[in-house]
Amino acid sequence: MILELGANDMLRGFEPSVTRAALVMILTQPRSSADCRASCCGVRTQPSRGDEYKSAFAAMFSGLASEHDVLFYPAFDDAFVDDAQLKLPDGLHPTAAGIEAVVTRILPKVEVLDRRARHRDR
């Protein structure tokens, strides 16, 4: 399982604790299965939210990964967020090329996740 959720919560200004509670539920339910391995991906926070909010959101993702012993990728959107040609006109979502950039960047973590699943170790 590759979990990348929370960006819309951030854009809407939800408190990180609300998003965190939802992500904990998502991380714990499938992990009760011995066959499930997980990775958690963070996202970059919008500068308009301020430094305190940005820090709280970033810490939420890394903290969840640590607490639940899952692989962590700090910001899946780093692959496209600074390149207008890799984003749709909304300025938020990746184009097909942006998705390719995400896959290229995250692939090493996915390969580690795959090895863990095959060897059933965490």
**pLDDT at residue number 120:** 64
Which whole-number Å values give the CA distances from 69 to 24, 31, 72, in the listed order? 12, 10, 9
User: How far lies 101's CA from each of 16, 18, 82, 86, in Å?
Assistant: 27, 30, 12, 8
What pLDDT shows up at residue 35? 66
Provide block-wise average pLDDT over 10 residues at a time, the chain (122 residues): 82 89 85 69 80 87 89 89 94 93 91 82 49
Q: Are 113 and 39 in contact (CB under 8 A)?
A: yes
Report the SS3 class of residue 85: helix
Closest CA to 61 of 122, 9, 100: 9
pLDDT attached to residue 82: 92
Q: Based on the number of CB atoms within 10 Å of its own CB, is 26 exposed (0-12), middle (13-18) or buried (19 or more)?
A: middle
- Give residue 103's pLDDT: 92
Q: In this predicted structure, what is the pLDDT of residue 21?
A: 93
Whether 73 and 40 have beta carbons less than 8 Å apart is answered as yes
What does the alpha-carbon distance between residue 43 and residue 46 come to, in Å, rounded to a whole number? 9
CB 60 within 8 A of CB 16: yes
